């Protein structure tokens, strides 16, 4: 038990502690593993000599639940956990999920909706003056005024609604240490306004130097064009080397000020973070409930990088981890792998070696290390930049070393490869070794759609690029003497996707011989470019108007088209084909999606469509696995 940080007064007494420096309140169960943000931040503070305790999943209905460790000397740290609490609780259709993988036994209901606000307000009821610092994905992506899908309106910066003092946004290692040192030296929390990677409140702009003043909260709340303009400014100021300080007015309540992001971790710093003394386990108090499901998924996986220059529109990584790649050294990763093999439950399989994108092991170009990323250009979209360094040598070397670790039978790559980056590398060694050693039957890739119009709004490469990758992967697989297949993730109802494009995707699914068991409808989560398009109907970086499928019925049709073989979807599919003017796909031909309605059965084929006006709604979210339920021959 002494390996875990204190979770109650008894634990503190065993360590001889009367008072903690920091109390970390989190919406997740307590898992002391480097894949959990609460573990990283608490262990990092511990390594600097601070006394830290954890209150995991306090009962928000009881004020005393946040007092179990007493008042900390320096402050409370508050996070919703590894997932946004609203995404954790609700599907894109706003229906309650049945399982919470970050809770004991997968039980739902152990954290509140909008956990950061609830926990922070709960703390403030008892501790009126104690500093409260917010962190994690929920706070990071709500750090300024933002569109909220669940209430369908623009909401304040989470700093305004929570009663907290600061937000440490992004991954937070640099900023949390600087905040801790400032508080420890006696600086009042309201004067900690200079730390990179933080957001704070103030009455006026006197503590800032030449800030970029964003449209006010009232403006973005009332005017969608102003919202899009504000988002574009924020999107172009996410780089630590070039970003400006930004200020957002809340009228007589003052301003919310966002400092530029913290600098990315150096490789030595990242190694130090992952070399902290994590137990790698969930707290023993969860044993009676069967443990924490999320740990099972990542226990035998290795994090090798952070950040992503892929810049997919529906992904929040640009706002959270940033576009500059940060990597661990081979030595650090191999050390963790060796330690992993000593676990009694290790069966010889490393489940993943990667990060947001597995095969990114260096910045996209050397300019980023001194000048930052380009504000108005992407590294891979619409085509790879001429300055892109597409090189897999380091990743290939790492994977070879991991395959040679004693007791390791197989090393999988499951966190996803960026197929256009693979094609941009003239050396095919990685692709060949990926097919030969690191795939087991199926390689999951994310083309997302087949319509170039939709892919443009997604920030993804053209469908032609994906088709080229399939040929190269098939060639590499055959060369290895194996029979393997690329299994695609597809998304329905993304901004820009009309019924015509939805039908085009259904035809592609038909030709592949796939029946997707689950289809991911676009989920409009805070602070993604796609969510901005969903809410405003405007592409914030170009100003062009974007068609958005918001109508719930239309979204159901688009989703049903990908599962057109399901008899329950027949009426929706028929309606979609009528709307798209594709009744040629109703019939008995091999290219038809559905059969004609038998005379006198169900509704007449000429019945008027129930679908009304075509509006828009975005979605960005977690992708589900698509299984190949049809013959291998058809997939070829």
Q: Which residues are annotated as a binding site?
A: 308, 312, 315
Are 81 and 102 a contacting pair, CB within 8 Å?
A: yes
Helix, strand, or coil here: 64?
Answer: helix
What does the CA dihedral 91, 92, 93, 98 come to, rounded to 10 degrees? 0
Give residues with Cβ within 8 angstroms of 214, minimum separation 6: 144, 220, 230, 233, 234, 246, 247, 248, 249
Q: How many helices (H) does the chain have, and how many strands (E)? A: 24, 20
Q: CA-CA distance, 188 to 315, in Å (whole number)?
A: 36
| Cα distance between residue 550 and residue 493, in whole Å | 8
Angle at 360 between CA 355 and CA 365, to 5 degrees: 135
Whether cis (ω within 30° of 0) applies to the bond prior to 382 is: yes
Q: Is 172 exposed, middle or buried, given 0-12, 13-18 or 19+ CB atoms closer than 10 A? A: buried
Backbone φ, ψ for residue 396 (5° rounding): -60, -45
CA distance readout (Å), 265 to 269, 365, 492:
6, 17, 36
Q: Which three-class secondary structure string do you get for 581-625?
A: CCHHHECCCCCCCECCCCCCCCCCCCCCCCCCCCCCCCCCCCCCC
From residue 562, give the alpha-carbon distance in Å to each of 233, 274, 462. Answer: 36, 41, 20
Contact in structure between 334 and 274 (CB atoms under 8 Å): no
Residues 6+ apart with CB under 8 A from 633: none
- Using a 10 angstrom Cβ sphere, with 0-12 exposed, 13-18 middle and 19 or more buried, the burial of residue 413 is buried
* Euclidean distance between CA atoms 619 and 520, whole angstroms: 9
Rounded (to 5) percent helix, strand, coil in the chain? 35, 15, 50
Q: Where are the beta strands (DSSP E) in 156-210?
A: 166-168, 198-202
550 Cβ neighbours under 8 A, 6+ residues apart = 534, 615, 616, 617, 618
- Among 271, 277, 336, residue whose Cα is nearest residue 306: 271
Q: How far apart are the C-alpha atoms of 208 and 340, rounded to whole Å?
A: 47
How far, in Å, CA of 401 to CA of 379, rounded? Answer: 29
Categorise residue 539: left if φ over 0, alpha if ψ from -120 to 50, beta otherwise: beta
Within 10 A of 471 (CB to CB), how many other CB atoms are there? 9
For Cα atoms 174, 254, 72, give the angle at the middle one, nearest 5 degrees.
Answer: 45
Give, rounded to a whole angstrom, the gap between the first and last alpha carbons of the chain: 54
Give the C-alpha separation, 44 to 220, whole Å. Answer: 38
Q: Residue 507: enclosing H or E segment and its boundaries?
A: helix 499-512
In Å, what is the CA distance from 275 to each residue of 307, 358, 380, 513? 19, 20, 32, 46
- Residue ranges of the annotated binding site for [4Fe-4S] cluster are 308, 312, 315
């Amino acid at each position: 038990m002494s390996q875990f940080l204190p979770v109650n007064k008894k634990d503190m007494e065993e360590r001889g502690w009367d008072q903690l420096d920091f109390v970390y309140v989190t919406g997740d169960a307590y898992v002391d593993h480097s894949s959990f943000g609460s573990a990283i931040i608490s262990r990092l503070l511990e390594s600097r000599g601070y006394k830290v305790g954890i209150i995991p999943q306090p009962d928000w209905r009881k004020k005393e639940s946040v007092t179990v460790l007493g008042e900390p000397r320096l402050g409370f740290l508050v996070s919703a956990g590894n997932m946004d609490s609203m995404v954790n609780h609700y599907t894109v259709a706003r229906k309650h999920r049945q399982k919470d993988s970050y809770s004991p036994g997968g039980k739902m209901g152990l954290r509140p909706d909008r956990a950061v606000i609830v926990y922070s307000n709960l703390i403030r009821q008892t501790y009126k003056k104690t500093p409260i610092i917010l962190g994690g994905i929920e706070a990071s992506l709500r750090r300024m005024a933002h569109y909220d899908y669940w209430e369908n309106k623009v909401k304040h910066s989470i700093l305004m609604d929570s009663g907290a003092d600061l937000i440490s946004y992004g991954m937070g290692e640099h900023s949390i240490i600087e905040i801790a040192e400032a508080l420890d030296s006696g600086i009042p929390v309201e004067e900690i306004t200079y730390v990179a990677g933080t957001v704070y409140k103030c009455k006026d702009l006197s503590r800032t130097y030449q800030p970029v003043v964003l449209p006010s909260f009232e403006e973005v709340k009332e005017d969608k064009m102003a919202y899009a303009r504000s988002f574009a400014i924020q999107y172009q100021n996410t780089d630590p080397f070039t970003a400006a300080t930004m200020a957002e007015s809340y009228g007589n309540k003052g301003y919310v000020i966002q400092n530029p992001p913290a600098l990315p971790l150096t490789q030595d710093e990242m190694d130090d973070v992952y070399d902290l003394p994590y137990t790698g386990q969930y707290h023993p108090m969860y044993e009676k409930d069967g443990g924490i499901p999320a740990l099972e998924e990542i226990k035998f996986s290795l994090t090798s990088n952070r950040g992503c220059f892929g810049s997919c529109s529906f992904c929040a990584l640009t706002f959270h981890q940033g576009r500059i790649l940060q990597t661990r050294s081979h030595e650090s990763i191999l050390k963790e792998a060796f330690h992993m093999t000593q676990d009694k439950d290790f069966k010889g399989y490393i489940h993943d070696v990667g990060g947001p994108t597995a095969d990114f092991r260096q910045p996209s170009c050397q300019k980023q290390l001194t000048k930052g990323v380009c504000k108005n250009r992407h590294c891979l979209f619409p085509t790879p930049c001429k300055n892109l360094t597409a090189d897999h040598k380091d990743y290939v070397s790492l994977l070879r070393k991991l395959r040679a670790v004693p007791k390791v039978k197989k090393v999988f790559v499951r966190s996803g490869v960026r197929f256009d980056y693979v094609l941009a590398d003239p050396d095919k060694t990685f692709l060949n070794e990926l097919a030969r050693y690191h795939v087991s039957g199926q390689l999951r890739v994310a083309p997302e759609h087949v319509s170039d119009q939709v892919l443009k709004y997604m920030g993804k490469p053209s469908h032609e690029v994906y088709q080229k990758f399939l040929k190269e992967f098939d060639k590499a697989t055959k060369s290895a003497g194996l029979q393997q297949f690329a299994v695609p993730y597809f998304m329905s109802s993304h901004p820009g996707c009309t019924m015509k494009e939805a039908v085009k995707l259904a035809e592609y699914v038909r030709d592949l011989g796939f029946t997707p068991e689950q289809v991911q409808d676009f989920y409009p989560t805070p602070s993604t470019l796609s969510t901005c398009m969903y809410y405003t109907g405007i592409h914030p970086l170009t100003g062009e108007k974007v068609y958005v499928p918001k109508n719930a019925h239309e979204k159901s049709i688009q989703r049903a088209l990908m599962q057109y073989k399901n008899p329950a979807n027949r009426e929706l599919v028929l309606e979609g084909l009528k709307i798209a003017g594709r009744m040629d796909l109703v019939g008995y031909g091999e290219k038809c999606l559905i059969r004609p309605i038998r005379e006198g059965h169900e509704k007449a084929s000429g019945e008027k469509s129930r679908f009304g006006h075509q509006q828009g709604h975005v979605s960005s979210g977690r992708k589900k696995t698509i299984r190949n339920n049809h013959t291998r021959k058809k997939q070829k």
